Structure 1
Amino acid sequence: MVESKSRRHRNGERSHNLYREHFRLPQNDDEFSFISPCVKYSLFFFNLIFWLIGGSLIGLGIYSFLVEYSETNLPKVQSILDIVFHVSITLIIVGIVVFSMSLFGCLGSLRENLCLLKLYSLMLLLLFIGEIILSSIAFMFPNSFSFALKEKLSNDPIKKYRDDDNLKNLIDIMQTTFKCCGVSDKGYKDWSKNIYFNCSQSNPSPEKCAVPFSCCRNQRNFDSGLPNGMCGYNVQNISSVVEVNKYVYTRGCIEAITEVFERNMNLVAMVCLGSAVIQVQYSSILFA
């Protein structure tokens, strides 16, 4: 009787071991994993990169904010556009979002915490849906979308050019990089909306009827080679656009940026498609 029970026990143990070996089940609970190691560590390192980027954006935004407003009053925020046009605040907000999302992804994948992973997946899904909605609006109503974008960007940023050093530097970099001046289809004429550059009779500014030096085709003095801050002076008084074009760029920056995108449409499409595939893939894997 005892021998029969012992034989049955050995047979059962042998069958159990064969079952484990056939289906490659872990030998103990410590080896069990809900997530494939490949997905786990690729997700971890992918989010680690963005976690570092998010932390850098927060640090840069805080430093920029403290430098800009250490001796002046805090900025007035009356609408969401006021936040967008304050570069330091935008950096902080974007940095917090990227830092939080990537932190959930890092901790969730490393600790295999399904709650954090599902929260991370939900944030990715919401981001993807937002991208789809924005892209759909731009595709279905291209003229209205372009007009609204040009109107908004050619007002507040132009008017606040001298009030916010970070915004000023951003506009100068954009105009120099894309060889443009102003924002909308009016091009360099957009700068007439700025109180320092407009051509009104009541304007006492020495920069009256000028444009920023970042609009200039040649930003340096021919003789000395030094930066020439007066290269765009009085160009708004010149009636001929052809004549103005000899000294400064005349097209708006939205037109210039659109042209760059059109020239590199294949690269833009590949980047957008790759981003969409990554977001959908991780969301579907973690929600599965």
Structure 2
Amino acid sequence: MGIGNCHPCAKYLLLVLNLIFWLSGAALIVLGVLFFTRPEVQPIVRLFNLTSIPLSSIEITAFFIILFGIIIFFVGLFGLCGAIRESRTCLILYIVLVTTILLAELALFTYIAISYEQWHTVIKQRLVSQTKKYNYEHPSQYERAVDYVQSKYHCCGIDSAYDYSDSLVPVSCCSITNSTSCTINQVSSSGVPGCFRLLTQGTIYWGKFFIIFELSLCLLSLIGIFLAICVCQHAMLYDGYIQAPYRI
């Protein structure tokens, strides 16, 4: 198929594709902002605040989702502008940006696949060490976050109730038994699970949707690069940058 023949179809497909990019970027920005503003998320965020910086790993992840959404949003605008006006500058910039994003996504997926187990173990160990320091007399934001998670998900400790250093465990561990005093034996006999497994299951559940979404964007990015090259070649041909060997 010649450049002239593929151009009309490529132009309209590129318009539709970048409209999807634009809407996807806007959706990621909205979801990231909603994630930060949901009250029930804040205790979990404080629970995973294990670093010296004032942001937890969950907040950093949400920040990168918003940043990625902003990039996708503007890439979609460049693609729409390039397809509508057949601007070589916008199309070339679009091709460069999409290629860079695609390579960055592949590098990110590779890094996550390689270091998932390592980060999983490190986070779990640090949560266990924090749990052993649970302050019963003067609870801080961390203790309140632990109590919220344990009451909401009906769990106790990270792996189990034995993560607490004493025989006494927080009352939030006995949300099922409705007991005013909590002991490890009461919690263990009730079969209360650890919280980390429950939180990990939720993360994996939503992570699958995010991975499917990202892989879909990767596939659309490859299609977008091909369509943009086709439209860009036609724009260069139309402006006399390429001498056509045949009539269009």
> Does TM, scored on the shorter chain, surpass 0.5?
yes
1:210 to 163, 170, 174: 170
Contact kept, 8 Å, 1:40 with 1:110, in 2: the verdict is yes
Deviation at 1:126, TM superposition (A): 0.8
Q: Bigger radius of gyration, 1 or 2? A: 1
TM-aligned CA distance change 1:210 to 1:78, over 3 Å: closer
- Corresponding position of 1:18: none
TM-score (norm 2): 0.57
Q: CA deviation at 1:135?
A: 0.5
Q: Work out the percentage of aligned pairs sharing the same amino acid.
A: 11
What CA distance in whole angstroms lies between the structure 1 residues aligned with 2:190 and 2:210? Answer: 36
Contact kept? 2:128, 2:158, Cα under 8 Å = yes
* Structure with higher helix content: 2
Q: What letter matches 2:158 in structure 1?
A: V
Kindly indicate whether the alpha-carbon contact (under 8 Å) linking 1:216 and 1:247 is maintained by their aligned counterparts in 2: no
Q: Does 1:127 align with 2:101?
A: no
SS at match of 2:32: helix
Does the C-alpha gap of structure 1 residues 96 and 147 become closer, same or farther in structure 2, counting only changes over 3 Å?
closer
Q: Which residue of 1 aligns with 2:85?
A: none
**Counterparts of 2:14 and 2:147, CA distance in 1:** 41
TM-score norm. by structure 1 comes to: 0.51
Quick one: which amino acid aligns to residue 63 of structure 2? Answer: I
Secondary structure of 1:181's match?
coil
Indicate if the aligned counterparts of 1:101 and 1:120 stay in contact, CA closer than 8 A. no
Residue 109, structure 1, aligned to residue 68, structure 2: no
Relative to 1, partners in 2 of residues 1:155 and 1:58: Cα closer, same or farther, differing over 3 Å?
farther
Letter of the 1:217 partner, please give it: I
Following the alignment from structure 2 to structure 1, what is the Cα–Cα distance between the partners of residues 61 and 133? Answer: 21
Of 51, 55, 62, 1:83 maps to: 55
Structure 2 unmatched runs, 5+: 44-48, 83-89, 230-248
Asked if 1:98 is matched to 2:68, the reply is yes
Any unmatched runs of 5+ in structure 1?
1-21, 27-31, 69-74, 193-197, 201-207, 219-227
> What is the root-mean-square deviation of aligned Cα atoms in Å?
4.8
Instruction: Write the distance in 2 (CA, Å) between the matches of 1:248 and 1:24.
Output: 68
Higher RCO (C-alpha under 8 Å, 6+ residues apart) = 2
Aligned residue pairs: how many? 206
Kindly state the Cα deviation for residue 111 of structure 1 after the two structures are TM-superposed. Answer: 0.9
